[in-house]
Amino acid sequence: MFICVSEMFNTPPWTSKLSSILTSQYAIAVLRSNLWPGAFAYARGTKFENIYVGWGLKYVGEAYTPPGPPLPLNEYPSGSEITELLDPSPEEEQDFKELLEEQEAVLEETDESEDDED
């Protein structure tokens, strides 16, 4: 059996314990890695097994905490060009179309009169 003697942050690389002290003839020896959290080895007699259930990150002295999300952005400033309004009634829409047609007619008359003067 190979035992690593290196320490990290004054912590031994493995922690060992027995699964039961009451029935030692049936107890399982368990090793837990302190360098790779989630790595375990266990044995009973001549049978042993290794298992790893972790994040794939080596222990660095403190738990990794991802940075928080950025603060939410301010809402778009409201103004008259983006404020919701009620839809016009069909009568109001027809009045508006007639007003636009009158304005276009006036513009065409002034354009024609300017062309005549030239």
65-92 pLDDT, tens digit each: 789 999 988 877 777 777 788 899 999 9
Q: Which residues of the chain have pLDDT under 50?
A: 1
Q: Which residue has the tokens 């738990």?
A: 63
* Rounded CA separation 7/37 (Å): 14
CA distances from 99 to 3, 92, 106, 110 (A): 93, 11, 11, 17
Taking a C-beta distance cutoff of 8 angstroms, is the pair 88, 95 a contact? Answer: no
Tell me the whole-structure pTM to 2 decimals: 0.44
Taking a C-beta distance cutoff of 8 angstroms, is the pair 42, 58 a contact? Answer: no
